[in-house]
Amino acid sequence: MSESLPSVPPTQQRKIRIAVVFGGRSSEHAISCVTAGSVLRVLDPERYEVLPIGISTDGRWVLMAGEETAQLAITGGNLPARIDETSGALVTMAADPTARELTVHEPGSVPKALGEVDVVFPLLHGPYGEDGTLQGLLDLAGVAYVGSGVLSSAVSMDKEFMKRLLASAGLPVGPYVAVRRGEWLRNPGGVAAAVAELGFPVFVKPARAGSSMGISKVHGPEELAAAMEVAQQHDPKVIVEAMVRGREIEIGVLAGPGEGPRTSVPAEIKVRGSHEFYDFQAKYLDDSTDIGLPAELTDEQSAELRRLALAAFEALECEGLARVDFFLADEGPDQPARWLVNEVNTMPGFTPTSMFPQMWAASGVSYAQLVDRLISEALSRPTGLR
């Protein structure tokens, strides 16, 4: 499935200039750095001129050196250090489609142009990166980038509106309640009553976060307030979802240059030990998760899963890639299990051990091939409205 990258025009016989952007202002800063470290290690130096740009937690863009990017990994169960203004020279990108340039700002020196960028690989997770904000800047600047555009990035990041759009397209989603901060402050009793109608246990989540940050499993009404406080540390808007009894299945969707999206081999997540669900610790820092790859499904279940994944990808107008997470809900004795779409992730975890690359590796696409393919797809698309 790997494909060669578009050639550089004859007048510009040079390497493809790619800015790998990572870090960011969200609570997923460290995970984004880990993802970027993995991608940077497989980019072919014969094909690409790579600009590693880290975004600090206060929003500064920093051009990082090779020795800094070598440390973007989880080591001994510890996440990499956060990016700050000491990590490298500060850079800016103008929202000017006639320039498409990065400018370097070093203390005591006149700002200097770093040159044009052909494509950006935005490896940010969460708000201020995965949610359409960075994509909007790149559209204004007229720079190609990997992944979904502004609208699909924004609605996929916001779990409430993602579920609304999926349901309006006829796709099955589980019961949920969206809670805005003002509503919780004004009428906590009303919110608690609405949550109780879902039936306990429920999961309380930040509406616009990922990597299982800020999620709590709530077993009864007495635990709701504490769970709301934890979720609101990440996002003032919270979504509460009814617990679905059944299996947790994920599948990757990948769009190639000039062709429609296709699906990977699906995988099943099984959490063991003291973890009640697939939380941050189980996902990244210990070995308490078993992965069934491929997931054990009937031919009929697999076909329906693939159909729903492609339908969700298209309903949200995703581009490039997505990981679509499902529940195969247990409907009780003598009832067939039923698929429910849980989430659509437009920039899923992207280390070699993350689910999206693992599923594609099992489908015959290596990690390096996957990275090349996504860059090729980004370069094949026009910038702006499409």
Domain map (residue ranges) of the chain: 10-146, 156-172+244-380, 176-242
- pLDDT tens for the chain, residues 1 to 386: 434 444 444 344 679 999 999 999 988 898 899 999 999 999 999 999 999 999 999 999 999 876 666 667 666 666 667 787 777 788 888 888 877 778 887 766 656 677 789 999 999 998 899 999 999 999 999 999 999 999 999 999 999 999 999 999 999 999 999 999 899 999 999 999 999 999 999 999 999 986 678 899 999 999 999 999 999 998 999 999 999 999 999 999 999 877 889 999 999 998 766 545 544 454 444 566 789 999 999 999 999 999 999 999 999 999 999 999 999 999 777 788 899 999 999 999 888 889 999 999 999 999 999 999 999 999 999 888 88
Burial category of 165 from C-beta neighbours within 10 Å (exposed 0-12, middle 13-18, buried 19 and up):
buried
Nearest alpha carbon to residue 315 among 195, 187, 184, 162? 162
pTM check: above 0.85: yes
CATH architecture of structural domain 176-242: 2-Layer Sandwich (3.30)
Specify the pLDDT at position 11. 40
Instruction: Kindly provide the b/e burial profile for residues 207-227, where b requires at least 16 CB atoms within 10 angstroms of the residue's own CB.
Output: bbbbbbbbbbbbeeeebbeeb
The answer to whether 375 touches 17, Cβ cutoff 8 Å, is no
Task: Look at residue 337 in the predicted model and tell me its pLDDT.
Answer: 87
Q: At what angle do helices 224-232 and 188-196 cross, to 10 degrees?
A: 110
pLDDT at 257: 79
Distance CA 159, CA 237 (A): 10
Write down the CATH number for the domain with range 10-146. 3.40.50.20
Class of domain 156-172+244-380 as given by CATH: alpha beta
